[in-house]
Structure 1
Amino acid sequence: MNAAPSGPQAFIMLGAGGHAKVLLSLAIACGMQVQGVCDPGLKRSGVVMWRGVRVLGGDDALEQLDCTDVGLINGVGQVVGSSLRQAIYERAVGMGFRFPVLVHPGAIVDASAVLADGVQVMAGVIIQPDVSVGANTIVNTSASVDHDCSVGAHVHIAPGATLCGNVQVADCSFIGAGATVIQGLAIGEYAVVGAGAVMVRNLPARSILLGQAARSRTVSDE
């Protein structure tokens, strides 16, 4: 799979936190031109440059950009209980912007894998044959997604997590750092697999798994 995105050759970063730092490094490794960053916090602070990239303003700066000339990089990380990353993505898509698929050169992605718009694949990731990954999903550093897995949109697979073969992950779920999901299982919408947990049975929507025991609870989607 080619790590370089197609379409616009100039890109704008949305957000300037830790996740954005990693994505900027990924973009540079792919030879991409990141021409600016939009971040409300930087704008309020009067910062004009961020890591060598010009600060364009807050979220309102998108209204001054031509969606046919630039692509966007969603630098807002995925946090349990927050839909901010999803909201930013959907607002920008509604304005006509596109988010490229980003694959770090140090990742291994089988040619048969299908990655939707805005998927971000970090360094050290392995994605095996016939995997599908939905829009705006993060497959974070050194995570592993084995054959025939189906991962929905707006999902975060955290660093070092392992999905064995034929795992079904519904939209907006979160798989914590170092977690392991045994083959053939299903994870429901907005469900959370805690860091280091080993999942050995299906996890219902809006449930959280800590250690070996699943505890039902409401996970906010607001």
Structure 2
Amino acid sequence: MYLYGASGHGKVIAEIAEENNLIIEAFIDQDKSKKQLLDYHIIHEVPNSNIDVVVSIGNNLIRKSVVDLYQQLNYIKLFHPKSIISKRVRIEEGTVVMAGATINSEVAIGKHCIINTNASIDHDCIFDNFVHISPNVSIAGNVEIGEGTHIGIGSSIIQGIKIGRWCTIGAGAVIIRDIPDGATVVGNPGKVIRS
């Protein structure tokens, strides 16, 4: 397998692959000054279309642009063995679940999402593609999160909330109302500061 994106986020994903006894052939990164990350070589072009890949880039928009550019690749999902995932969860291709994350019953997670360290996701949530749930986020049941939205570290979202597409929820925000597409939200309770 290959990891596309040789930076800090890539290091974490590489260690998840190692925990799953997967062989990493190399990182792929367009920055030609990068030669090695951890114990792995960095190459600067996709070797061919018949490879297993995880996009190891934390930025949702960049991750989406890579996937749009290389649609022919075989995108796999990775789950840290110390995550807790209900057998009734549906998780799409390219999504990564980090150590300590808990995902409860009947959750649906789209393509190329990041469920980061110690995130807690309760029952019946729906996440669209390219969502990033940061470390220590707590999401109650029946929450819907639109494409490309980033939920900042330590945020909390009460039950039944709908968050739009390509939103940014600031670190530690407490979300008690629905959030429209493209909004940036901070504070407790969460307040839209830009849309």
Using the TM superposition, give the Cα deviation of residue 205 of structure 1 relative to its aligned residue in structure 2, in angstroms: 0.9
Aligned pair count reads 194
CA contact (8 A) 1:207 1:214 kept: no
The correspondence for 1:88, drawn from 66, 71, 75, is 66
Q: Distance in 2 between matches of 1:216 and 1:153?
A: 24
Fraction of identical pairs, as percent = 29
Is 1:23 the equivalent of 2:4? no
Q: Give secondary structure in 1 for the equivalent of 2:76.
A: coil
Q: Which digits, 9 at most, give the CA deviation of each residue in 1:108-163, with x for residues without a partner?
A: 00011000010110000000000000101100000011000001101100000011
Using the TM superposition, give the Cα deviation of residue 209 of structure 1 relative to its aligned residue in structure 2, in angstroms: 1.5
Q: Choose between structure 1 and 2: higher helix proportion.
A: 1
CA contact (8 A) 1:206 1:216 kept: no
Gaps of 5+ in 1: 1-10
Per the alignment, residue 215 of structure 1 pairs with: 192
Per the alignment, residue 192 of structure 1 pairs with: 168
CA contact (8 A) 1:156 1:175 kept: yes
CA contact (8 A) 2:102 2:119 kept: yes
User: Which AA in structure 1 matches 2:42?
Assistant: V
Matches within 5 A, 1:26-45: 26-41=16-31, 43-45=32-34
Matches within 5 A, 1:25-174: 25-41=15-31, 43-45=32-34, 47=35, 49-56=36-43, 58=44, 61-62=45-46, 64-65=47-48, 67-68=49-50, 70-78=51-59, 83-93=61-71, 96-174=72-150
Using the TM superposition, give the Cα deviation of residue 44 of structure 1 relative to its aligned residue in structure 2, in angstroms: 2.7
TM-score by length of 2: 0.95
Q: Distance in 1 between matches of 2:112 and 2:87?
A: 20
Q: Distance in 2 between matches of 1:55 and 1:17?
A: 11
Q: Give secondary structure in 2 for the equivalent of 1:44.
A: coil
User: Which AA in structure 1 matches 2:41?
Assistant: R
Using the TM superposition, give the Cα deviation of residue 206 of structure 1 relative to its aligned residue in structure 2, in angstroms: 1.1
TM-score by length of 1: 0.84
Gaps of 5+ in 2: none
CA contact (8 A) 2:109 2:128 kept: yes
CA contact (8 A) 1:71 1:98 kept: yes
Q: Distance in 2 between matches of 1:148 and 1:23?
A: 26
Aligned-CA RMSD value: 1.3
